[in-house]
Structure 1
């Protein structure tokens, strides 16, 4: 069964023909979240933009029946190399316990400073076996 999440509470309306997330086979695949609040306004400071992106991501995951603690893969798109350190500081606030696999690249994207998407699982994650490598 496939379920489409068109929007989530607190998000600005989508600007194109896509779902905010798709739930399929026990996974949630999100659309890239951008730093627009529910009012469509982008915060001034970059770190606040990161917080808005990740809060949007959390809202979509919650609406899909998952959560930020169940994220297994993140793709982050920044627009300038110097954004990496402030991005990492804020990212650690959201992913302090669970540290998903992540790809971060620097690209030119429209008129926004960053975009973040992820894949998460539904339900609880199984206990890790064997500890850290």
Structure 2
């Protein structure tokens, strides 16, 4: 049975989807983009600032479900420009311990919503 997860501490969906869905002992998040949930606008700055906001948004969704980034088992990262990978990866490494980091796929895409430079979705275990 699935359970819908929603929090005001992450951006509201802009279409027919939910921030996350719990199914069994797993949580599946929708992709998060660098939108400040308090203002509803994209954060200013480059890949570093946008990656921080995306990961903070994911942390908020996970917290609402009673889990955290350290329980993530898989992330999928969408970058608008693979030339920004090193800078993105530096920020990402601050949020995930190298020894217990989740599996990850990273792909470059032609465009992301609202001109975002990064989007991340993940799957996490529940406590």
Give the TM-score of the pair, scaled to structure 2: 0.90
Larger proportion of strand: 2
Q: Hey, which bits of structure 1, 4+ residues long, moved more than 2 A?
A: none
* Map of 2:32 onto structure 1: 33
Residue 71 of structure 1: how far off its partner (Å)? 0.1
* Map of 1:19 onto structure 2: 18
Distance 2:4 2:111 in 1: 25
Counterparts of residues 70-89 of structure 1 (less than 5 Å): 70-89=71-90
Residue 12 of structure 1: how far off its partner (Å)? 2.4
Question: For 2:36, what is the secondary structure of its paired residue?
Answer: coil
Counterparts of residues 1-133 of structure 1 (less than 5 Å): 1-5=1-5, 7-38=6-37, 39-41=39-41, 42-96=43-97, 98-110=100-112, 111-123=115-127
Aligned length in residues: 122
Cα offsets for 1:4-38 (capped at 9, x unmatched): 11x32322221111110000010000000000011
Residue 49 of structure 1: how far off its partner (Å)? 0.4
Gaps of 5+ in 1: 124-133
Gaps of 5+ in 2: none
